[in-house]
Structure 1
């Protein structure tokens, strides 16, 4: 089996550029809703999310909702979570379970996270995400480099690599 052409993969999945980096397409939005703070949200949404050699970073951001990430294929993707105690947590999504890769990653709402594609033979990494309550851009915040470096001084180099200069 040959490797898929990245442009063909983007077209086949109907992906478009995402504000946090990479590409995405919403694949499901529940027609049922729930009160979430002061707003109504779909009970659940789901997306495909793709990082590629030309868009290898999902910049630091946080969501109000809980998100389950499911690895689908390609090269491994490293996830970086900033915990409230200032510690960095790293998880790799990929198929090499023996080497410590995970097939799923749960990120609780309100936690800063970023992702980065590992160099590999495929040039892409594909995941799915299930978001509950459902995703809404009003519930997402991109990380501000200076604020994150002040709040997580032990992670400044990583924060510099995985944030945009200005939000």
Structure 2
């Protein structure tokens, strides 16, 4: 993959830009709809080892970019801490609506997915969730960009070079806008980097469990409202919908 599509990343992982505008499922609803919404992603164009990973883990295209598979959905139901109304009608239109048995008054206690960024689908576009999400690295390397509710921008690198400040595990609170993208492999001898191509394989655990009712994509207009012009231009390529 040509690394030129990537902007420069912070030299020290965990950097916060600090600029404000004046200067972190239950069963994924309508999975087939979310998959068709990202039909431009073609698994057969991925490198062989990536195709093998997608096949072995039963991954399908994710509406945010990349691939995913639901791996756990807690059977425990809890009262929903969220408003009964969905966060974004745009998201619901993109995924074909809420799952038929969805009850807005309750949530699963937790849910987990595998999430995979690849050479042909290297970006997880800006979005936010109402629930808190804990991310765990399995292999690969990437960069995360967060826009906090106070409009502070935080960027950090996830990977196995922990002596350089790269993260093996990270949490993103509900309400934080989040995007991610692959980074070129700098050290093919690293234990969690594949020698063939860039990739990023992680787990995400969502508490309370994920529902598309709690999901929203960031728009270009909203990005311009949140950030100064320079930053909005810098990160605009991470906006998908």
TM-score by length of 1: 0.92
Q: What are the ranges of 5 or more consecutive residues in structure 1 without an aligned counterpart? A: none
Q: What are the ranges of 5 or more consecutive residues in structure 2 without an aligned counterpart? A: 1-46, 85-103, 186-194
Partner of 2:198: 123
Give yes or no for contact 2:223–2:236 (8 Å, CA) kept in 1. no
SS in 2 for 1:31: coil
1:32-51 aligned at under 5 Å gives the runs 32-36=76-80, 37=82, 38=84, 39=104, 40-51=106-117
Give yes or no for contact 1:145–1:159 (8 Å, CA) kept in 2. no
Partner of 2:8: none
Report how far residue 4 of structure 1 moved. 7.2
- The superposition leaves residues 24-83 of structure 1 with CA deviations (integer Å, 9 ceiling, x where unpaired) of 000000000111123211100000000001101000000000000000002x11110002
- The superposition leaves residues 81-112 of structure 1 with CA deviations (integer Å, 9 ceiling, x where unpaired) of 00223221012111100011011111000110
RMSD, aligned CA: 1.5
Report how many aligned residue pairs link the two structures.
Answer: 162
SS in 1 for 2:64: coil
Dislocated runs of 4+, deviation >6 Å: none
TM-score by length of 2: 0.64
1:47-126 aligned at under 5 Å gives the runs 47-74=113-140, 76-120=141-185, 121=195, 122-126=197-201
Give yes or no for contact 2:136–2:203 (8 Å, CA) kept in 1. yes
Structure 1 range deviating more: 12-21 or 33-42? 33-42
